[in-house]
Amino acid sequence: MSKTTLAFLGGDPAFSTALHVGRPNIGDRDAFMRRVEEILDRRWLTNSGPVVTEFEEKLAEQLQVSDVIAVCNATVGLELATRALGMSGEVIVPSFTFIATAHALQWQETSPVFADIRKHDHNIDPLAIEALITEKTSGILAVHCWGRPVDIEALNVVAKRHNLKLLFDASHAFACDYHGQPVGGFGEAEVFSFHATKFINALEGGCISTNNPELAEELRYMRNFGFRGYDDVGFLGTNGKMNEISAAMGLTNLESLERLIAVNRENFDSYQKAFADFPGLQFLPAPENDVFNYQYVVAEIYEEECPLARDELIDVLWEENIFIRRYFYPGCHRMEPYRSQSSTNDRQLPETDAVCSRVLVFPTGETVNGDAIRQVSGIMFQAIEHAKEVKLAIEKRSNA
Ligand code: T4K
């Protein structure tokens, strides 16, 4: 499996077509095209059309909740939910997440207060939350990072004890269970992303799921400018609607859910095998005994045991056209506008910093298979065999 020369050291790239994290999964193309034709014939393109309604019904079934509100993306979904739940002042949130989680709060003029994570699953640490609660705290926005559910029971206890709203960013966790129950029905509401890179994609899109019909009704009005009926605007709203083509894509992909889990699962297992003896590399395990979507293959590189640092491995792989990623480096608390805020810039988040320095996310999904995975591992083994030359080449480049 070893190539003659690493691209980083002057050879040709291993992959002529780039290997990406987040390459979209695409279900039955014919079914999608049929739906698109019907949408065009119907000339009903958005504003709660029949395909969006069908998508919402199927999602509610899948998530086992009373209500699902489809939205244009998860960021807007989080903004809508934050507002509808009356969250204001400060909301406690992990820093180790995609920046959208924090921005959605800040966009609603609510300050994200960053909590540290647990090393073993990269999720918010319930024990870190209580120390951050002040009289301004109105809620907790927890993220099911990489699809692994947070410790929902512990968060329920903290939220109840301090009378806080509990909202979940479930962007990664579609088709993932917590103790046998689908993520989607916990807390006040949960928000999923159907962005192109997500397990189920609707091109762009998202949804809010809840078991509170009154909250759902308010969210439906809010996503449509606050309209409660014809010419009747009841309160401040925005445009958070999903369009019909997005819903058609979402519905079509939903029909392939079992197959997509199987593909991801097989890739996940291939990665564990191919890297079993790689020094200093540890994969985040899948949750035991629960349904899981395997959408993110996440590893950590422990520099003291690996001949190359995490970022050196990234440099080598990118030259081979293998675009592994170091999500969510350097953590939201080290990005603007949060970095410059006095409340944030002295915050110590040691686990977040450590995980940010170690994480590597590998490509998976339909466009990746066992052969590609073995090739990726072959290159990484070759890179550590030639660690000295790689380090020298990096030094030369930085001095050039
Ligand atoms: N909360 C959490 C925890 C999230 O992770 C996210 C989104 C959100 C909230 C917000 O959800 P949305 O508002 O987006 O619904 C990507 C996605 O853009 C972002 O949606 C996602 N999280 C995040 C984890 O990943 P980037 O900055 O990595 O995007 P980009 O353009 O670099 O794309 C990633 C890779 O995917 C590329 O290497 C190429 C590949 N790709 C991408 C697209 C769009 C394709 O192959 N085809 C495509 O169409 O953020």
What is residue 344's predicted lDDT score, i.e. its pLDDT?
Answer: 61
Question: What per-residue confidence (pLDDT) applies to 368?
Answer: 96
Nearest ligand 1 atom to alpha carbon 145? 3
Mean pLDDT calculated for residue range 235-250: 97
Q: Which amino acid is at 28?
A: D
Closest C-alpha among 186, 191, 121, 123 to residue 159: 186
Give residue 399 CA to ligand 1 midpoint distance, Å: 33
Alpha-helical segments (H) within 14-123 = 29-42, 50-63, 74-84, 99-107
* Helix ranges restricted to H, 275-400: 310-319, 342-345, 350-358, 370-385, 387-399
Q: Is the dihedral of CA 299, 304, 310, 312 positive or negative?
A: negative
Task: Report the pLDDT value the prediction gives residue 350, as an integer from 0 to 100.
Answer: 96
Q: Are 56 and 202 in contact (CB under 8 A)?
A: no
pLDDT surpasses 90 at 146:
yes
Q: Tell me the pLDDT tens digit for each residue of 4-48.
A: 899 999 999 999 999 999 999 999 999 999 999 999 999 999 999
* 340 against 274, higher pLDDT: 274
Whose structure tokens read 């035991």? 288
Residues 385, 23: Cα–Cα separation, whole Å: 30
Residues with CB under 6 A from ligand 1: 20-24, 73-75, 97-98, 100-101, 143, 169, 171-172, 193, 195-197, 206, 323, 327
The number of the ligand 1 atom at minimal distance from the alpha carbon of 204 is 15
Q: Whose CA is nearest to atom 7 of ligand 1?
A: 98
Q: Which SS3 state, helix, strand or coil, does residue 225 take? A: coil
Task: Give tens-digit pLDDT for 199-221.
Answer: 999 999 999 999 999 999 999 99
CA of 235 to the centre of ligand 1 (A): 32
- Separation of CA 298 from chain center: 12
Task: Read off the DSSP letter of residue 224.
Answer: B
Atom 8 in ligand 1: which residue has the minimum CA distance?
A: 100
Cα 336 to ligand 1 centre (Å): 19
The mean pLDDT value for 191-198 works out to 98
Question: Tens digits of per-residue pLDDT, 81-115?
Answer: 999 999 999 999 999 999 999 999 999 999 999 99
Supply the residue whose CA is at minimum distance from atom 36 of ligand 1.
22
- Using alpha carbons, select from 82, 325, 109 the residue that is nearest to residue 222: 82
- Distance from C-alpha of 237 to C-alpha of 275, rounded to nearest angstrom: 50
